[in-house]
Structure 1
Amino acid sequence: MKSILLPLVFLFQFSSILLISSAYTLPDKYFINCGSDTDINSVNRVFTGDLNSGSVSFTKQGSSQVLDSNQVAGQASTTIYQTARVFRQRSLYEFQITNTSTTYLVRLHFFAFPSTTNLSMAVFDVSTSEFSLLRNFTFRNSTNAPTTKEFLFNITSGKFDIYFVPQVSSFAFVNAIEVFPAPESFIPDTALHITSSGSNGNYYKEIVSKVLYTIHRINVGGLTLAEENDTLWRNWVPDDSYLYNSNTAKNGTSYTGKLNYMGRVNEYTAPDFVYRTSKQMNIVDGSQSNNFNITWNFRVSKNTSHFIRVHFCDTVSPSLNVLTFNLFIAGKFRKEIKTYDEGNYQLAAPFYFDFVVDSDDSGILNISVGPNAKSDLENTAFLNGLEIMEIMEKSVSEAPVINNGTKKGLVLVLVVSVLGGLVFIGVLAVFIFFGRKKYRKTNPGEPLDSWSALPVFGGGSTHSRVTKKSVNGSNSLNLGLKVPFGEIQLATKNFDSKLVIGKGGFGTVYKGIFRNGVKVAVKRSQPGSGQGLSEFQTEIMVLSKIHNRHLVSLIGYCDERSEMILVYEFMEKGTLKDHLYDSKFPCLSWKQRLEICVGAARGLQYLHKGSDVGIIHRDIKPTNILLDENLVAKVADFGLSRSGPPDHDQTHVSTAVKGTFGYLDPEYFKTQHLTEKSDVYSFGVVLLEVLCARPAIDPSLPRDQVNLADWGKLCKNKGCLEDIVDPLIKDQINPNSLKKFAETFEKCLQEDSSDRPTMGDVLWDLEYALQLQQSPTKREPHEDSTTDASDVLTLPNVRRVPSLSESIVVEDSVLNSDSLNISESEVFSQLRIANAR
């Protein structure tokens, strides 16, 4: 019934707007259907085919149309998501603007429909002449639904350009574009500024000179509102998934009477539906026990300013001038809400407040409403709607150079290229001359041609043992990463045993220093053994294509003289395992452990969703999580990695079982079906290991405690998790943080992969556990958590022994269910103690 009523109410609402709001007329441009010569009617606006538009132009050279392969041949598309414009080079759309110095809404629509061009492989930037809007954007989401990116900012010039810049060897695309003016004073120029230390009464100024990027638009207490339910074609989503504690809130009764629009609020501020529904405090029988704040948590960009608009409409008060409650923002600011005053002394009168809030490094922003200390018990608190927009500063100094194929443009490009080449050659010649001169002084007995002044990436021996094909595909290896064997010899002092920092299944790891002072970790297989060639190739293929702060960087490789050598950035603090037990390092605090887990989760999340193709690590464990000098975590060792399913229809990759005993996903082990959730299971074991500071497998313990994953889940279910927590940090852990952390690893360790969260969800939970650890333990009665923060964890001593876990390969085989019923000597015969693969 609701689905039938929404369009009817919307039609009435639209007709009333035209009569009531004479100050603003719904625009008829610009709505562009990209990659098409067809005009499409969509919710009271016409998207004009970009080939038909006379007032909008685009770069035609290097661009092409792409059509949905499911569309019937010869039939015109019926929606904006059945065509796209594809750009193979830097390109632009140019709009002629008549109404300047006005706030505009700019929306970019993306959908990777099935076509001859795999649109989901596109990686590109989007910018204007002053602002960078999207960086390294790629269309990837779990629902495979269209994505809309919305921006609001002033356009001050008569010409407005949107640039699409493909990444190297990729392309850009867009399905549709909207550029139209917003109502007058839609965005204020100033708003109360809430900094990291709270509000001191100062205001954030010149908001309209920035770009506002919409990241959350919430219909609190209501349903999803699609563009046909909004006067400005916005989308609003329900709030339930953002609630910190759903027991504290209930949906208010939907209001069906007349809304009293007053002052600056009108029908364009938000849809009627937003003001007719709300979340209210869940007060049961007037009991104070349920009288807690309602809190919503939102993911936001870290250490960034955000524009926040909070919507209210008092349809819950029984009479005038009785309801007063508090609004809390980011735990730093409180505002008393007097609905009678703000609603111009009448009920059902919409009103809103604007703020600029600086986020911290947690990436979480919380908004709460709660009772005023002076309120009577029967009074409540409520919220109707919420908008959060990231404030983007100017970041593009000049527009990207667009080559439209003209002779003038071609000449300019050639001149710039030639001049740039001459300058580069001159600098290189000077560099080589002084480099050789210096080398003669420091190494008079060494032939000049034996070494280059710096590590050389390229060239190499012709006796290469590495094929130019990857293990899982046909992509060529990145030959630009090749490092001469002699350079590696010099860096490691000819593989001096004193520089050994680890040994593992692949070989020995040495610390090295290149002649430019760069420290590296050199992993060398046994020369001439031929073992590990597949892992060697996979490692190079994976790390040459992905780059992230939380993934270890591959500096180069060498395959000369029957060698297989990998050169990585040097991680000063070693592996995570090095810090957990039998450690020469100081004990990690609980906060440090959480930060390390968050960093590793970010690296895995990037592997799964942020790279061009989804990658499954297959060997997540503490020895493959490295720490730099600042204890920043980086995931390492990609020798066993596999690409994810090649298309959205497949849920897994069928492959022989590989991984490390104690961390293997049981479902993958049984079915040989590898998924991203296999990494999630392994990471769950790592989380337990971080909490307990004991190895994943310890055969010296009683049988029910040998396997940490099983033992941890059992203790969690029995309510005695504190019995196995590392005693060295027992006094540091906030109980709320421990509770959230335990919920996280328990979800990761579910037997059925479909019950496990994604790495994105794991990351969110860990960031929240970190936020809880950083927040004060003691809580006021009206706050969300009912946990007694004063409880003290009483923990027994936990044995700290080296891990017996080591990488294993189980090719087309199944281990007996009694495989854990083995003696300590048998375990040592099967597994080798090691710190690196």
Structure 2
Amino acid sequence: MQMEKLLLFLLLFFSILLSPAAYTPPDHFFINCGSDTNTNVSGYPNRTFIGDLIYPGPLSFTKQKSKVITNSQISDVLYQTARVFKQQSFYEFDIDTAGIYLVRFHFFNSTDVSTAVFYVSTARFSQLKNFTVPRSSTNDSNSPLIDEFLLNITQGKFSIYFTPHGSSFAFINALEVFLAPANFIPDKVPTPPNKSYSGILSHALQTIYRINVGGEKVTPDNDTLWRTWIPDDKFLYNSSMAKKSTPSSARPNYEKGNVTVYIAPAPVYKTAIEMNTNGSNYPDTSNVTWSFNVSKNSRHFVRVHFCNIVGKSVGSIIFNLYLNGNYSRKIDPHEIVGELGVPFCLDFVVDSDESGAMNISIGPSKDSLDTYTAFLNGVEIMEIMGESSVVIKPDKSTKTVFPVVGPVVGGLLVCVLAVGLFIVLKKRKRTSVKTSVWSLFSGHGGGSSDSKGTYRTINVSQVPNLNLSLIIPFTEIQSATKNFDEKLVIGRGGFGNVYRGILKNGLTVAVKRSQPGSGQGFDEFLTEIMILSKIRHRHLVSLIGYCDERFEMILVYEFMEKGTLRDHLYNTDLPFLSWKQRLEICIGAASGLNYLHKGSTGGIIHRDIKTTNILLDENFNAKVADFGLSKSAPLNETHVNTGIKGTFGYLDPEYFQTQQLTEKSDVYSFGVVLLEVLCARPVIISRDPQLPMEQVNLAEWGLLCHRKGLLDTIVDPSIKGEINLNSLRKFAETAEKCLQEDSVDRPSMGDVLWDLEYALQLQQTGLYREPHEDSTIEATSDLQMINVQRLPSHSLQIERDELLILGESITDESLPSASEVFSQLRINNAR
């Protein structure tokens, strides 16, 4: 331990000695596109955007078939002109100094260019080809859209291409291309939990978030590299756990830290969020969590900023940093920088999963000396564009490589570091041998307490106590997927790729394959098999079989022709679902969930209900899928104590706070699904700084609109004209009941199922009456009959549940559905 501390001190000392030379922000290239004048832009002190028509060089661009449009109604002079291209065109720069460049594209989506759809690319970074500016690129017609990339550019010619999509056109208002400080982005950083990522600089990085935690918006005129930092309020999951620290009046002490003023400006380090605790003892409470909406299944460069303006004395605070729930690191500011008010940052590469949410949390550590709290000053998230071709390998040391600037000092320190690291590595190697050998037995194949372990043979499944009749040989799965041909991939998730395949009996299936030999996801693999091998229901995806040989974990399901429910709601080219279709899909999913809760001995809690886990067959029948996180509810118990798992935005807040999982947790998630179906928008929108805070979270926004009587304003425009108002009212009431804060106030899934069936009947009949309502309107006796029968909604459900709970083999095929009950009541056009 002492040796490690000595090495850390030497590394920090070495980094200070070898700090880069002073950096002066360049004055090129700042281009005012489509202009013949120079523009001094507010927010860019001492910077002039030069018109592309008069740029003195070294710049060239496509003039043929391009034109200039002018809009004097725009208040900001920089965006009054734009260059428009009807064919692939370019701007070409002469780069005299190789390094990391900040490249910013400025677009103002005015009426003249609102229909533009195009692509931006460079010769080297083809990843940018997917960049488009659609009609809805900005929600505020008075605000520009600025997209920032970091590119490693070599000396010579550097071209940016603008390619119109089809018969559309491309446009650009302004361009920035300028050199960043030396060592601005490292090429190798840690990848949680214990790996490293090499080759960052071979990829383009797109800035997704730049957050000033605990502070106000930082505008370009207050930033050293003309960046914008937005407040963190809309990203906080539970704001009651956090409080803003008192802003520091002192300037951050950059001289003592591992960052310069160009890494982050002083306003970022002068504010922070800390835990809302008294700090007097080690608290048993939730962490402070920020959640960000990112691209699914992608890699991101994450930089977190710290400056201890919270502690009263040096060394008083030690806390934990958590990334995406699967990695934690102890943060000891005293060990890293040694003094209060000294800024530092840490870099990571973090993989996002199928949920598209990235969580960053801070929490207290019991190692803290006297103040049990935690703090955070800033966050930056940049997506690493394109497929990764870099090598990821175990990170066996914490060594850092610095450029040698003095042969004597550098050589001496390198020798000292090398000797010290050799000793540490040798010690760790002795320990790691046991760990690596043990992982062969316990990591993937289901371990054993026997010292010999349980090593998996080539063709024998080691998954215990499962239905062996479901085993499908690996060779057959290989043949069905044409050896896992990439052309047959129909989905990618946290577990692995999903392929379309055809078994030798001619059955079309979906094949979900984990990364071979990774050992990750074994618990989910086992849970899925155990649950789906015991239950059958027309609204639950059927398990055809599984493969557990050759270090493979493969699940084979029935093939769902129409994909996920979310695929048909938004960000899609697929035809819109009608309101009747949406109701029937929700009814089907609710039926499947109700069977999970009541149809198996003890009940099953799904724990990850969302629109991507509701699949549609060729006839748009809904089936609930993905049971890897599911839990069996113990008999005679009201809840399961378990760690937090699920998808942010759908997660039951009571479960999140108490870690007590109940069936009502699924009900809450299903309530979010109902709003997503109604509104056709993501459950979390956090990347749009123009979006009002109350609209970021769909559940909160939907409840707010419902209570204000503004429900019609959030309905998906594609179905707005076809919804019967009574059906809409019943549907919204059902969603609201599902989203109650206290689980005891939420209905059962059986009641939700009935209410949705009722909403469907109202859509078909156009009539609505409240239970207990006296007949004061014209209505048939049949309609009165349903009001009488609807009163005790639990009565029919009890009868149905008693049937369902008889055994795990019950399929629900022979039981009357709610729709059939309505049919027996003969309500006008009820089905």
Question: What's the TM-score, normalizing by structure 2?
Answer: 0.53
Counterpart residue number, 1:24:
23
Structure 2 residue aligned with 1:762:
none
Match of 1:349 in 2: 342
Alignment correspondent of 1:260: 253
1:275-674 map, 5 Å: 275-284=269-278, 286=280, 292-343=286-337, 345-376=338-369, 378-393=371-386, 552-553=574-575, 575-581=585-591, 591=606, 594-596=609-611, 627=622
Aligned residue number for residue 209 of structure 2 = 216
Structure 1 distance, partners of 2:752, 2:47, is 68
Distance 1:596 1:37, change over 3 A: same
Report if the CA contact (8 A) 1:310-1:387 is conserved: yes
Partner of 1:824: 782
AA in 2 matched with 1:243: L
Matched letter for residue 208 of structure 2: I
- The one of 110, 113, 119 equivalent to 1:113 is 110
Q: Structure 2: how far apart are the matches of 1:552 and 1:519? A: 16
Equivalent residue, structure 2, for 1:225: 218
Match of 2:73 among 66, 70, 74: 70
Alpha-carbon spacing, 1:292–1:817, altered in 2? closer, same or farther (3 Å) = farther
**Counterparts of 1:368 and 1:519 in 2: how far apart (Å)?**
37
Q: 1:627 to 1:98 in 2, by over 3 A?
A: farther
CA deviation after TM superposition for structure 1 residue 259, in Å? 2.4
Change (3 A) 1:807 1:212: same
The letter of the residue matching 2:211 is: I
In 2 relative to 1, CA 238–817 (structure 1 residues): closer, same or farther, beyond 3 Å? Answer: farther
Equivalent pair of 2:251/2:266 in contact (CA under 8 Å):
no
Post-superposition CA distance 1:276-302 (Å, at most 9, x none): 111111124847668542111111111
Q: How does 1:774-785 map to 2 (within 5 A)?
A: none
* Amino acid of the structure 1 residue aligned with 2:100: T
Cα distance, 1:395 vs. partner? 10
Q: Aligned letter for 1:297?
A: S
Q: 2:156, 2:739 → 1: CA distance?
A: 63
| C-alpha deviation, 1:266, in angstroms | 1.0
Taking a change above 3 Å as real, the CA distance of residues 630 and 156 of structure 1, as seen in their structure-2 partners, is farther
Distance in 2, matches of 1:70 and 1:347, equals 50
Residues 1:193 and 1:799: Cα distance change in structure 2 (over 3 Å): closer
Query: What displacement does 1:796 show?
Result: 12
| Offset, 1:382 | 0.6
Contact kept in structure 2, 1:151 and 1:213, CA below 8 Å: yes
Q: Give, as a single letter, the amino acid of the residue that structure 2 aligns with 1:131.
A: S
CA 312–799 in structure 1, closer or farther in 2 if over 3 Å, else same: closer
Which residue of structure 1 aligns with residue 62 of structure 2?
59
Return the offset for 1:380: 2.0
Residue 800 of structure 2 is matched in structure 1 by: none
Q: Which amino acid aligns with 2:47?
A: R
In the TM superposition, residue 274 of structure 1 has moved relative to its aligned partner by 0.7
SS in 2 for 1:137: coil
In 2 relative to 1, CA 623–184 (structure 1 residues): closer, same or farther, beyond 3 Å?
A: same
Judging changes above 3 Å, is the alpha-carbon distance between structure 1 residues 88 and 800 closer, same or farther for their aligned structure 2 residues?
Answer: closer
Change (3 A) 1:284 1:519: closer
Which residue is 1:47 aligned to?
A: 49
Partner letter of residue 45 of structure 1? R
Please tell me the residue identity of whatever aligns with 1:386. V
1:56 offset after TM fit, Å?
1.8
In 1, Cα distance between the equivalents of 2:87 and 2:225? Answer: 33
For residues 259 and 817 of structure 1, the distance between their equivalents in structure 2, rounded to whole angstroms, comes to 73
Any unmatched runs of 5+ in structure 1?
Answer: 1-19, 72-76, 397-517, 522-542, 555-565, 604-621, 642-662, 687-694, 699-705, 728-794, 811-815
Q: Tell me which amino acid in the other structure corresponds to 1:98.
A: D
Could you tell me how far apart the structure 1 residues matched to 2:324 and 2:133 are?
A: 29
User: Structure 2 counterpart of 1:325, which letter?
Assistant: F
Percent identity of the aligned residues? 38
Following superposition, the deviation at residue 805 of structure 1 comes to 2.6
Name the stretch that deviates more: 715-724 or 254-263.
715-724
Question: Take 1:136 and 1:809, find their aligned partners in 2: how far apart are those partners?
Answer: 44
Identify the residue that residue 434 of structure 1 maps to in structure 2.
Answer: none
Report deviation, 1:241. 1.1
Which of residues 229, 234, 245 in structure 2 aligns to 1:241?
A: 234
For 1:329 and 1:311, the matched residues in 2 are separated by 14
1:250 has 2:250 as partner: no
What per-residue deviation string (whole Å, max 9, x for no partner) do you get for residues 91-116 of structure 1? 1111111112x1100000111235xx
Alignment of 1:668-817 (within 5 A): 675-677=713-715, 707=730, 709-710=732-733, 713=736, 724-727=747-750, 804-805=760-761
In 2, Cα distance between equivalents of 1:219 and 1:519: 44
Q: How far did residue 149 of structure 1 move? A: 0.5
Residues 361, 109 of structure 1: alpha-carbon distance in 2 compared, 3 angstrom cutoff: same
2:138 alignment counterpart:
141
Q: Distance in 1 between matches of 2:618 and 2:133?
A: 32
| 1:208–1:97 Cα change, 3 Å | same
Match of 1:33 in 2: 32
- Structure 2: gaps (5+ residues): 1-18, 390-558, 628-669, 681-701, 767-773, 787-824
Following the alignment from structure 2 to structure 1, what is the Cα–Cα distance between the partners of residues 155 and 228?
28
Q: In 2, distance between residues paired with 1:519 and 1:224? A: 46
Q: Deviations over 1:595-653 (max 9, x none)?
A: 337879xx9xxxxxxxxxxxxxxxxxx99966599899999xx9xx9xxxxxxxxxxxx
> Using a 3 Å threshold, how does the CA distance of structure 1 residues 279 and 803 change in structure 2: closer, same or farther?
closer
1:640-688 Cα shifts (integer Å, max 9, x gaps): x9xxxxxxxxxxxxxxxxxxxxx9x999xx99x97554669989x99xx
- 1:59–1:92 Cα contact (<8 Å) kept: yes
The equivalent residue for 2:552 is none
Partner-residue secondary structure (3-state), 2:114: helix
Letter in 1 for 2:67: S
For 1:804 and 1:205, locate their aligned partners in 2 and report how far apart those are by CA, in whole Å: 55
> Distance in 2 between the 1:281 and 1:584 partners?
39
Whole-angstrom CA distance in 1 between matches of 2:593 and 2:332: 58
How far is 1:821 from its partner?
7.2
Output the CA distance in 2 between the equivalents of 1:586 and 1:246.
34
Q: Deviations over 1:380-431 (max 9, x none)?
A: 21111111100013699xxxxxxxxxxxxxxxxxxxxxxxxxxxxxxxxxxx
Which residue of 2 is the match for residue 504 of structure 1?
none
Q: By how many angstroms is 1:151 displaced?
A: 0.5
Residue 469 of structure 1 is matched in structure 2 by: none
Deviations 1:503-534 (A, max 9, x none): xxxxxxxxxxxxxxx9999xxxxxxxxxxxxx
Q: How far apart, in 2, do the equivalents of 1:352 and 1:718 lie?
A: 37
Instruction: Report the number of matched residues.
Output: 508
The residue aligned with 1:431 is none
**Is residue 79 of structure 1 aligned with residue 74 of structure 2?**
no
Which SS does the other structure have where 1:361 is aligned? Answer: coil
Matched with 1:833 is 830
Residues in 2 aligned to 1:273 and 1:805: alpha-carbon distance in whole angstroms: 58
Q: Which amino acid aligns with 2:233?
A: D
Q: Secondary structure at the match of 2:131?
A: strand
Residue-by-residue CA offset, 1:114-150 (whole Å, 9 max, x unaligned): 5xx2x22211111111323243432533233211100
Q: Aligned with 1:353: secondary structure?
A: strand
Matched residue type, 2:331: I
**Match for residue 183 of structure 1 among 181, 206, 210:** 181
TM-score by length of 1: 0.52
SS of 1:203's equivalent? Answer: strand
Kept after mapping to 2: 8 A contact 1:210/1:394: no
